[in-house]
Chain A
């Protein structure tokens, strides 16, 4: 069994593959993919995760709603959430952080940035 379980919620298969491909470089991780917020919630209710990476703009349920639901759920509120989006404005960043997101990464993502954020939030030494 992997030491860390990571959930990647992203509607774009290209981005999902890129994020997964990058995060697989961390040692001892299991990555689960979800294509939108609802799918993400299903995966969260089905198993424990150590960190969630989510896009903001997604069909069915966007990333901000997902952040809000997870952070208001006593069972999952402590899971760190990293928001990944094309929105680079300070307002979007503040909105995501106000809802409880732990970190914020803008597209196009840098692999080093993604890995550094995951390492920091998972407290990997």
Chain B
């Protein structure tokens, strides 16, 4: 593209052929300039059109390139990607399945932990009860410990410890809580619930534990024999439980079993010890008399 330069137009150095006088020459020159300007404009328009066309081409090329890229991926690469995706999906399913398994295992462990925790607590209670029962050889102290265990570990409110008199075959209350010993009459071996427990050595548990109101000494809710091997030396009789205690737990039954055996040995050994102490002091008295 070429046209008249601005300097040429301004200086009037553009000529249009023959010289025909100053005014005519100037008119031709102007016409020439206009013509050249028109040509120049035409050239600009053409150039513009060409550039527009080129732009459209470039856009088409760009679009085609983009399309080609997507089409390229949808071939082998797409299939590979699909396979990879399936593989990942499978892995994800497996991981989720494993996660669920681990979650279940965790729940099982948590439950097992609670069970062991309960067992541990129960064992602690049993250990302490047993430890306390055998911590003394004083008969009254043993009775006090039995009462403490029944109140604090079992949660009984009214109860008594009855010992079997082997001469009269009667059970007599030797300690009680929540009621007077005197309110519990002697019970003959084999008579009623308490007498039968003492005779058979089998524990008694009443189904309805909601014992409220007046206590019938012959109608306990629980009666546990105190046994040394097969021999019953007394019974623990429970008439009512604490307000907040409405049922027995597994620990309570374990404690009853422990009480049945350990209270008997504790009571028996403390009694033997008291007797031997008494005999010893009598003998010592005689020796002192003889030697003085």
A residues neighboring B (CB under 8 Å): 12-15, 17-18, 21-22, 86, 88-89, 106-112
B226 within 8 A of A: no
B149 within 8 A of A: yes
Q: Do B148 and A108 have beta carbons less than 8 Å apart?
A: no
Q: In the complex, what distance in Å separates the CA atom of A23 from the CA atom of B259?
A: 25
Count of B interface residues, CB-CB < 8 Å: 24
Contact of B242 among A13, A17, A86, A111 (CB under 8 A): A86
Chain A residues with Cβ below 8 Å from B124 are 18, 21-22, 111
Q: Do A14 and B243 have beta carbons less than 8 Å apart?
A: no
B125 within 8 A of A: yes
Chain A residues with Cβ below 8 Å from B149 are 14
B186 within 8 A of A: no
Q: In the complex, what distance in Å separates the CA atom of A21 from the CA atom of B131?
A: 12
B residues neighboring A (CB under 8 Å): 117-118, 120-121, 124-125, 127-129, 131-132, 145, 148-149, 151-155, 157, 242-245
Chain A: CB-nearest residue to B125: A18
Q: List 5 A-B contacts (CB under 8 A).
A: A13-B148, A14-B145, A21-B127, A86-B157, A112-B118
Chain B residues with Cβ below 8 Å from A108 are 152-155, 242, 245
Chain B residues with Cβ below 8 Å from A88 are 242-245
Q: Do B243 and A89 have beta carbons less than 8 Å apart?
A: yes
Closest chain-A Cβ to B40's Cβ sits at a distance in Å of 88
Contact of B152 among A12, A22, A111 (CB under 8 A): A12
Q: Can you list the 8 inter-chain pairs with the closest CB atoms, starting with the nearest?
A: A88-B244, A111-B121, A88-B243, A108-B155, A14-B148, A14-B132, A15-B152, A12-B148
